Structure 1
Amino acid sequence: MNRPLALDIDGTLTRSNGTVDPRIFDVLRDWGAPVVLATGKSFPYPVALCHFVGIPETVVAENGGVVYAADEVTVTGDRARAQAVAEEFVARGGDLGWGDADTTNRWRETEIAVHIESDEALLRAVADEFGMEVVDTGYAYHVKAPGVTKGKGLKAVCETLSLDPETFVAIGDSENDVSTFELVDESYAVANADDRARAAAATVLDESYSDGTLSVLESLR
């Protein structure tokens, strides 16, 4: 039987242009072991991806802020304080960068995401004043409560499903995957991963993006 998986989405299941690699669908659908999508995206995104892939909706969203497994939803974090950081950031001349509709944050329950081209120094300064953290995923800056991580989210999933986190294989590409890598027995950073992910992973792949992930999954099958 295949080992359970903890998979990041952006930069890991996607191609370099940001689109989900359709080759992933059949592989995950036929995996035959639990698959957890662990992402910085808001809760609806990984749920929808699970739905369209055709696998059980088991997710760690918002960098660990929302966990969903076996029809149980657990929410941690401090959305109100994250929103306060965002408002103060804008008041001091910052720009969240998503436009008026802001679909990036519209359904976000525990944190606020800020465009990667926004003023990082100002954002970090404001977040620090409010006792919040900023995580750089390479795609956005995430303002979140300290201690909320993907690794803790995956541990919660394992407790719900009576699984051992050490049996998981984790694949990711950025600093928000470090906590997941530290929890599991076998971890991989795709070649496009940032320095923190590369340092934390047991193996750094030669292939980038979904090509790297597919190479791991093929070797494990």
Structure 2
Amino acid sequence: MERVRQFFSAILAGMLIGMGGTVFLSQSNPVVGSFLFAIGLFTIVVFQLHLFTGKVGYTPFNKPVYLIELVVTWLGNLVGTWITATMVQNSRIYEGMAERVAGMAEVKLSDDFTSIFLLAVFCGMLMFIAVDCFRNVQGSTLRFIGVFVPVMVFILSGFEHVIANMFYFSLSGTWSAHCFAAILVMTLGNAVGGMLIPIYLKVFKQR
């Protein structure tokens, strides 16, 4: 039953990331779009939903069975992003963002896997910072900044977030064997980046 709960929690998290991606695509100003995208992560951490990029960083602090939770979370996030993408595709707002998301998907899928991995590592680091700040920093203003700023940085820098890209690829209808391989590379990069700071904290007994 717990795995079922985690799966449905992950679906909701995926849907929220998809909503963040939707509002980002609807904005012409990238700074405004990146700020509004962060509402997805903010809602996820407030309601303690399961997001792969928010949980993978805590792998070093957990037992090996935690990997099962990560897999369930990843799959739920995939389903959630697909649901949101399908809903948007069947709404009046899709026409206004179809060309833009297709261009984004083309850029990402034309990149080589080394570049994708490196960009995903940076994003993984920022996602851990965002989630951990919300968990541990005192004060509502600092927690708010701690969530929103790292998200804005990864979007404006062009770093690769695997769950956001699940949404973009679903919305643009560009799923293929190559696309799935790129998603796996992003997953690995986000995982590596997300664990860099936690490994440091664990090795040097900072936490």
* TM interval, short-chain normalised: under 0.3
Q: Which has the higher contact order (CA 8 A, sep 6+)?
A: 2
TM-score if structure 2 supplies the norm length?
A: 0.26
* Greater share of helix: 2
* Greater share of strand: 1
TM-score if structure 1 supplies the norm length?
A: 0.25
